[in-house]
């Protein structure tokens, strides 16, 4: 079904595709020019692309849980989503063991889904203030707790780290590259979006304006109060969190992967802006143009498969070579595969694998309801 019906929203696939291409850019392209200035790609995508992925994860979770269920059907659906998250997390551990130099997000992503499940029972009126509070307070809690945790050992979680579950949990939740405790703010923001009518052009326009305003305000306040030298030195990113032994002034920064209140606010605002604009474009275009859009950005329907492929392509043994000039090749490969999947009406193989527990849970829930219906009709 197209986004013009009550089915799939093409605008969300476009946003997912942009997030994928943005993350590829941060992995492949240089962060700074030969003169030492921040590159345009790093300025646009650094920290924002992965945040967009996380917010879209919240939207997806909201859409998967929008049907009100009780009893066994609810338990089955929850178990199916948790099993899906486990499969994604295990894939992340597998990819994390490759020699790529990439901080693989998938294991964090899986944990994020599991921790987000209890919040799917809340409505917008509860989720919105909770998101604001999480943005403000989670980095403070992280700043207080991290000095007492083990020092991070790896950029990406791997199967080897399962031998030390305490260390692994510490990295996944608070000290790693995508720390789930502060990053839960992204998922909560996505849950808010997913509970709204994302087909309402007026609402989407308001969301775009609101997201832009939040991003600009967070950036401006940070520039006013943060140390400009520290901000400039960390403009390319901070590997997930601020220094565990740093003072409280670090929380004033807006820097990629710093997980400060201002960084979370700015990247959430940016993500909301991108998602709203993508959905607005979908609403404004005629159906034939949307069909073309779905093919062109078809990679957005298979981001798990194509992100994993990109990680494998970054190993030395796989084409293309690890050079900034190969970014176009990465983009062409990912977009071509995405377009082919759309034209052939196929799912990405890893999407099919990860969604299997959810599909099985849905079938089990339907089977459980049928005897009750037949008994009621007698």
Q: What are the pLDDT digits (tens) for 4-29?
A: 335 789 999 999 999 999 999 999 99
| pTM across the whole model | 0.94
pLDDT band at 152 (very low <50, low <70, confident <90, very high): confident
pLDDT band at 81 (very low <50, low <70, confident <90, very high): very high
- Is the predicted pLDDT of residue 368 greater than 80, yes or no? no
Residue-averaged pLDDT of the chain: 93
pLDDT of residue 263: 98
pLDDT of residue 378: 46
- Is the predicted pLDDT of residue 362 greater than 80, yes or no? yes
The stretch 198-212 carries a mean pLDDT of 98
For tokens 């193989």, what's the residue?
A: 349
pLDDT of residue 370: 59
pLDDT of residue 1: 32
pLDDT of residue 2: 34
- Is the predicted pLDDT of residue 315 greater than 50, yes or no? yes
Rounding to the nearest 10 degrees, give the CA dihedral for residues 208, 11, 349, 79: 60
Tokens of 188: 């909560």
- Is the predicted pLDDT of residue 299 greater than 50, yes or no? yes
11 near 3, Cβ under 8 Å?
yes
Beta-ladder partners of 38: 32
- Is the predicted pLDDT of residue 376 greater than 60, yes or no? no
* List of residues 6+ apart from 284 with CB closer than 8 A: 201
The stretch 157-172 carries a mean pLDDT of 95
pLDDT of residue 8: 87
Tens of pLDDT, residue by residue over 117-142, are 999 999 999 999 999 999 999 999 99
- Is the predicted pLDDT of residue 99 greater than 60, yes or no? yes
27 near 102, Cβ under 8 Å?
yes
pLDDT of residue 6: 56
Tens of pLDDT, residue by residue over 319-344, are 999 899 999 999 999 999 999 999 99
């Amino acid at each position: 079904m197209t986004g013009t019906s009550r089915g799939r929203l093409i605008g969300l696939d476009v946003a997912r595709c942009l997030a994928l291409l943005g993350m590829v850019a941060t992995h492949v392209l240089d962060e700074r020019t030969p003169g030492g200035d921040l590159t345009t790609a790093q300025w646009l995508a650094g920290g924002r692309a992965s945040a967009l992925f996380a917010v879209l994860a919240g939207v997806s979770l909201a859409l998967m849980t929008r049907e009100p269920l009780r009893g066994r059907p609810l338990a089955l659906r929850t178990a199916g989503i948790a099993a899906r998250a486990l499969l994604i997390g295990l894939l992340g551990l597998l990819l994390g063991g490759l020699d790529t130099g990439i901080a693989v997000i998938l294991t964090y992503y899986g944990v994020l889904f599991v921790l987000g499940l209890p919040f799917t029972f809340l409505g917008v009126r509860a989720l919105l203030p909770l998101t604001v509070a999480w943005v403000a307070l989670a980095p403070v809690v992280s700043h207080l707790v991290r000095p007492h945790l083990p020092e991070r050992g790896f950029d990406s979680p791997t199967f080897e780290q399962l031998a030390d579950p305490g260390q692994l949990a510490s990295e996944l939740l608070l000290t790693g590259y995508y720390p789930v405790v502060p990053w839960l703010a992204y998922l909560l923001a996505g849950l808010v979006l997913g509970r709204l009518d994302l087909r309402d052009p007026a609402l989407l326009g308001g969301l775009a304006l609101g997201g832009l305003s939040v991003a600009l305000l967070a950036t401006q306040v940070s520039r006013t109060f943060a140390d400009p030298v520290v901000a400039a030195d960390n403009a390319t990113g901070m590997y997930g969190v601020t220094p565990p032994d740093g003072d409280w002034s670090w929380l004033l920064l807006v820097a990629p992967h710093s997980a400060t209140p201002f960084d979370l606010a700015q990247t959430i605002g940016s993500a909301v802006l991108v998602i709203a604009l993508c959905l607005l474009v979908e609403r404004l275009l005629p159906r034939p143009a949307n069909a073309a859009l779905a093919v062109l950005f078809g990679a957005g329907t298979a981001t798990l498969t194509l992100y994993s492929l990109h990680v494998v392509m970054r190993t030395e043994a796989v084409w293309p070579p690890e050079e900034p000039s190969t970014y176009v090749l990465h983009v062409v490969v990912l977009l071509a595969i995405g377009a082919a999947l759309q034209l052939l009406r196929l799912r990405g193989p890893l999407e099919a694998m990860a969604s299997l527990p959810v599909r099985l849970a849905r079938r089990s829930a339907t089977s459980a309801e049928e005897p009750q219906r037949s008994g009621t009709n007698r």
